Homo-oligomer: A and B are copies of this chain.
Amino acid sequence: MPYIKIEVTKEGVTREQKQQLIKGVTDVVTQVLNKDPHLTHVVIQEIELDNWGYAGEQTSVLREKGITAERK
């Protein structure tokens, strides 16, 4: 009965990316734990940049400074 919550900043995540997240995470969890996918729910929660803080700063402020969360 896994339940998975994914919280990400709201920065243009597309419908296709959401489907990839849901499919990919469901695959990992059901395969590692040998669980029935029909008992597996994934919820994606997008958080406004003003509402996510990192190291004491709003992400919206970090983005204005040119600091991203991108993989290098």
If over half of A's interface residues share one DSSP class (helix, strand or loop), that class is named, otherwise mixed; here it is mixed
Is B71 touching A18 in the complex (CB atoms < 8 A)? no
Per assembly, the copies of the chain total 6
> Could you list which residues of chain A lie within 8 angstroms of chain B, going by C-beta atoms?
1-9, 13, 15, 17-30, 32-47, 50-61, 69-72
**Cα–Cα distance between A6 and B7 once the two chains are bound (Å):** 12
Q: For A3, list chain B residues within 8 Å (CB).
A: 3, 6-7, 41, 43
The CA of A61 and the CA of B23, in the complex, are separated in Å by 12
Q: Using A37-B56, A51-B18, A71-B36 as known contacts, say yes or no to A6 and B1 having CB atoms under 8 A apart.
A: no
B43 near A53 (CB under 8 angstroms)?
yes
A36 CB to closest chain B CB (Å) equals 5
